[in-house]
Amino acid sequence: MLKQLSLASLISLSLAGSALADSFQLSSQDIAQGKFMAKAQEFNGFGCTGDDLSPQLKWSGAPEGTKSFAVTAYDPDAPTGSGWWHWQIINIPVDVTELAAGAGKGDNTLAPKGSMQMRNDYGSNAFGGACPPQGHGVHHYRFTVYALKVEQLELPVDASAALTGYMLNANALATSTIEALYQRD
């Protein structure tokens, strides 16, 4: 009987945690799930001529215990063997639930006060837009918001994307993702 009760309690807690994670939602006026991004979100360089503008992002339903947020943009289809990190912004204060379009600019004028942009795979501490190789087909860009259980991630400004990702996953209470598309023919 005790084993059944413990198992029932574990299942109940698991379902409650899942329900909390399901209520954490990411939305955007600029990108949409399964839809192609505009030229505004294309990189300006490496043969690409876009506006290099990070999309507007908004989230709601963060779980209890959230102390800060982080946002990443990642392309798993990049022909590198490890994908391509386009953006990592961490230490977003808990009272901030939206990033304006362009918040990923390197001058940090639109980034939330106290946040920190980590080095992307283009080598800058900013948003770097989509720029898949011509003729490489459709790439999937995963924009993910993390609800974190810590106020700040203690990372050096030149931390690798892998280290940042590790710390995000180790401290995440919940995540929500929009997977947008881009292609250059």
Tokens at 181, concatenated:
């598309």
Domain membership flag for residue 10: no
- Binning pLDDT at 50, 70 and 90, where does residue 176 land? very high
pTM: 0.88
**CATH at residue 60:** 3.90.280.10
In angstroms, rounded to a whole number, what is the distance separating the alpha carbons of residues 2 and 138? 52
In degrees, to the nearest 5, what angle opens at C-alpha 145 toward C-alphas 142 and 148?
140
* Domain housing 172: 25-182
Q: Which of 78, 40, 71 is nearest to 143 (CA)?
A: 71
In angstroms, rounded to a whole number, what is the distance separating the alpha carbons of residues 36 and 31? 8
> What are the tens digits of pLDDT across the range 107-139?
999 999 999 999 999 999 999 999 999 999 999
Domain membership flag for residue 71: yes
Give the model's pLDDT for residue 137.
96
Give the model's pLDDT for residue 92.
98
Domain membership flag for residue 98: yes
Number of domains in the chain: 1
Instruction: Please say whether the beta carbons of 59 and 112 come within 8 A.
Output: no
